[in-house]
Structure 1
Amino acid sequence: MLTKVVVSSLCLSLLMGACQGKKSTVLDEENSGEKQQIKPGLVLYNSIIEQSNARGQLLWRLRTKRVSYTQEDKIAKVEGIIGNLYENNRIILQLSADGGEVTGEGKEIYMQGNILVVDTRNKVELKGEKVVWKPEENYLKLTGKNKIKASHENMVVLAEEAEYDTKRQILRLKDNIKATTKQPTLQLSTSRLDWQVAEDKIIGDKPLTVIRYQDRLVADIIKTDRGKVDLNQHIATISGNVEYQSLNPLLIAATSRLVWYYDKRQVEAPETVLLKQPKEEVTITANRVNFDMEDKKVYMRGGVYGRNHSRKSEIYADEALWDLAVSPAQIQATGNVSYKQSEPPLLVRGIKAWGSLASENILVEGIGNAQVVTTIEIE
């Protein structure tokens, strides 16, 4: 028979003689007993500490190998911890640690050494060296000399510090964060990240770098001020000062907002975008852009302006398709087309144009009654 010993006025209790000789990372819930008053300085072995709220609902329970209690400081020092956190009499967290202290009549629990926390609702797993646990505030903070680790079926994160809102299931990670997703592989680097574990979404409001790997090689890189990633839908919404870079095909884009379907390597940019091919010294600006990097095509609408900076040639159009699958890249422009070059001086207007802006090999044509207008500029 277990003996329950009251050690505080807030239903913080000890159950002695529990689970002796049993090694496990999950707390055995079978217990019973009667309450007794603990004597100051008493040391107990193989005991259980627990706390209930004013309604008698169990808040948390810890099984310990050794516990000592000082009445003056109201501190219970514990060793060999395995415990549970409850919500509506249901286990929501399981945890273990080498040792720690229960203070503030059970309102704060400090643990250290080989910390392991598992949320039974979403299966996220947290590892660290130190924990501050405030059960009544739904608050858990992990730190350590080495980085803390948060693992889930869709992502693994390393960080210097983590705070977990146990009620909302939101994990806030801080400092030197490296997050790696699975299938497809993304690596995120930032200084602060909120992980909505139940929804499988992450939110970063600090400068963020995202790298997408394909066949273990870097395929895409994004640098931005902030972003959101839906891990289930494989969609990233990026905003701020956004720089997108594709390594195959080689392309750089700058904008203020984009939606990235990173499993398909497709991008929607609803605001003005500056596109650049560094090797060919060609830039194109468009108001709305869709990328398909698997097909190596860029679709541009809402007004398009392209420029060859080395040869000083320009093209304007309502819409354009930029085909990066061929070399040099080919452009197909439609609607109010205007092409201008400096050597030799030439200005051509029409309905449609296609060719290479990099090599200044552009053909402009009219449709039906629309005639091509050519102007030869003579200095």
Structure 2
Amino acid sequence: MNTKTMGWIRLSTLPILLVTLLLTATGCRSGSRGADRLAEDSSAAQQVDSNLTFNNITLEQADEQGRVLWKVQSEQVVYSPDQRVATVVNPDGELYQEGKAVYQVQAQEGEVRRDGERIFLRGNVVATDIKSGAILRGNEMEWQPKRDLLIVRGNLRGTHPQLQVSADEARASNRRREVELTGQIQATTLDNPKLQLEGERIVWQLDNEMVISDRPLVMQQLEGEQVTEQAESNRAEVNLQAKTVKLLDNAILTLTEPPLQIRGNSLLWNMDEKTLVSDQAVTAVQRQEQVTLTADQGRMEFEPQTAYFMGNVRATGQQNQALLTADQLTWQIDSQRVEAEGNVVYTQPDPPATLRGPKAVGRLQDRTIVVSGGRVETQIVPNGDFNFLPDGAN
């Protein structure tokens, strides 16, 4: 049969013709021997099969308004006896929404339904979002146009100029312009520095260029093959265009150099600017020096390695139990030097001491803290001696 476009309605007379053919064959040979009837029935069955099989055709399906729902080219189409299902070989076509093509699809085989509610494709499935260029590949695909739902499952892999993904299943909505990925997910951004995400459920917003997760997610920033930072949180929002990550709910960012861990419930990580901002309570721990800082808010610059803490700041030297509290504090991470301002209080247990003032500078690890302000500067040295110097004294 030559290649042509066929709608379901064009084949609506086939059952009547085929039934008439069978009845005629039976009536004309009613007095013949059993062998003759068997041969004739077999011939009629072959004619039925022939009338339900077509080569190199294009199938179309329209909605109630006459708008195309899908258009599929196929090397071969075999209709079921009731013509409600067509089995297609090597289908290649487009899926439509409101009369506009939204997906291109290919596969090794599949089934299309006369009611237009579902298309199933199997074997090396390729589904391309025409607007964004995102490509989903898998073992199976299902299209439900009335539900605005495209499902690709089985060895799922996705590619896009911004992102590569693998998962168990993808459920795409063209109207919402998003893809929900579930299962064993691994997603990697393609721009440097690369960010690799691992989780069980993410929503990829194509037009907004966002990846959102409402489940625990682990992220690693890669420089080549080396992990430079690792983050995890119960919820996260990744802006692919701005290269920012919003870590929410029990968030942790761990740096390899320096060995620093920052925890909070709201951390904004900017990978391009190499900064981390917390607009809620934040805790930072320097593991080597055993220094812990907490505050109501904070900001860290990875280059240079400087952190700023604001509101109810507490800096603790865990080894010697030295404690410094202030309204705000700047922490030079490389040198471990702190500069505190506003309602500064410094305490240490051995030898016991408590000092107050508007400002303080020094290092908690070796208890070399200078509290200053007003007319008197008080200096504490490691042996416990105190020097009281008037302002301006050398």
TM over 0.5, yes or no?
yes
Match of 1:346 among 353, 367, 389: 353
Partner residue, 2:45 = none
Match of 1:162 among 163, 166, 170: 170
Compute the displacement of 1:6 (Å).
3.9
Tell whether the 8 Å contact from 1:249 to 1:293 is kept in structure 2 after alignment.
Answer: no
Match of 1:113 among 119, 123, 138: 123
Alpha carbons of structure 1 residues 373 and 337: separation in structure 2 relative to 1, 3 Å: farther
Compute the displacement of 1:300 (Å).
0.5
Partner residue, 2:300 = 291
CA distance in 1, matches of 2:262, 2:186: 24
The question of 1:230 aligning with 2:239 is answered yes
SS in 1 for 2:351: coil
Quote the RMSD (CA, aligned, Å).
Answer: 2.1
Structure 1, gaps ≥5 residues long? 14-34
SS in 2 for 1:105: coil
Aligned pairs for 1:231-246 within 5 A: 231-246=240-255
CA distance in 1, matches of 2:317, 2:273: 30
CA distance in 2, matches of 1:353, 1:85: 68
Match of 1:65 among 60, 63, 75: 75
- What is the percent sequence identity of the aligned residues? 27
Tell whether the 8 Å contact from 2:269 to 2:277 is kept in structure 1 after alignment.
Answer: yes
Compute the displacement of 1:5 (Å).
4.0
The question of 1:177 aligning with 2:185 is answered yes
CA distance in 2, matches of 1:164, 1:4: 28
Higher helix share: 2
The Cα offsets for residues 142-194 of structure 1, whole Å up to 9 and x where unpaired, read as 111xx301111111111011111122221000011001012220011110000
SS in 2 for 1:136: helix
The Cα offsets for residues 245-303 of structure 1, whole Å up to 9 and x where unpaired, read as 11112111111111111222211101111111112221111111001112111111112
Tell whether the 8 Å contact from 2:8 to 2:61 is kept in structure 1 after alignment.
Answer: no
The question of 1:301 aligning with 2:310 is answered yes
Partner residue, 1:323 = 332
CA distance in 2, matches of 1:96, 1:50: 15
Compute the displacement of 1:140 (Å).
0.9
Match of 2:214 among 205, 210, 220: 205
The Cα offsets for residues 88-110 of structure 1, whole Å up to 9 and x where unpaired, read as 43322111000011135221111
Compute the displacement of 1:134 (Å).
1.1
Partner residue, 1:257 = 266
Tell whether the 8 Å contact from 1:64 to 1:80 is kept in structure 2 after alignment.
Answer: yes
The Cα offsets for residues 213-271 of structure 1, whole Å up to 9 and x where unpaired, read as 23432111111100111111112212111111111121111111111112222111011
Partner residue, 2:257 = 248
Compute the displacement of 1:111 (Å).
0.6
SS in 2 for 1:131: strand
Match of 1:334 among 320, 338, 341: 341
Tell whether the 8 Å contact from 1:274 to 1:285 is kept in structure 2 after alignment.
Answer: yes
SS in 1 for 2:288: helix
TM (norm. structure 2) is 0.83
Compute the displacement of 1:37 (Å).
4.2
Tell whether the 8 Å contact from 1:187 to 1:212 is kept in structure 2 after alignment.
Answer: yes
Look at both structures and tell me which one has the larger radius of gyration over its CA atoms.
2
Alpha carbons of structure 1 residues 239 and 218: separation in structure 2 relative to 1, 3 Å: same
Structure 2, gaps ≥5 residues long? 16-47, 386-394
Partner residue, 1:7 = 8
Higher strand share: 1
The Cα offsets for residues 316-348 of structure 1, whole Å up to 9 and x where unpaired, read as 11111111123xx11111111111112222212
Question: What residue identity is the alignment partner of 2:246?
Answer: T
The question of 1:93 aligning with 2:103 is answered yes
Alpha carbons of structure 1 residues 38 and 125: separation in structure 2 relative to 1, 3 Å: farther
Partner residue, 1:266 = 275
CA distance in 1, matches of 2:274, 2:254: 11
Partner residue, 1:127 = 137
Question: What residue identity is the alignment partner of 1:50?
Answer: E
Tell whether the 8 Å contact from 1:297 to 1:322 is kept in structure 2 after alignment.
Answer: yes
Deviates more, 1:335-344 or 1:224-233: 335-344
Partner residue, 1:30 = none
SS in 1 for 2:260: strand
Alpha carbons of structure 1 residues 36 and 337: separation in structure 2 relative to 1, 3 Å: same
State the number of aligned residues.
346
Aligned pairs for 1:45-84 within 5 A: 45-72=55-82, 74-84=84-94
Tell whether the 8 Å contact from 1:159 to 1:176 is kept in structure 2 after alignment.
Answer: yes
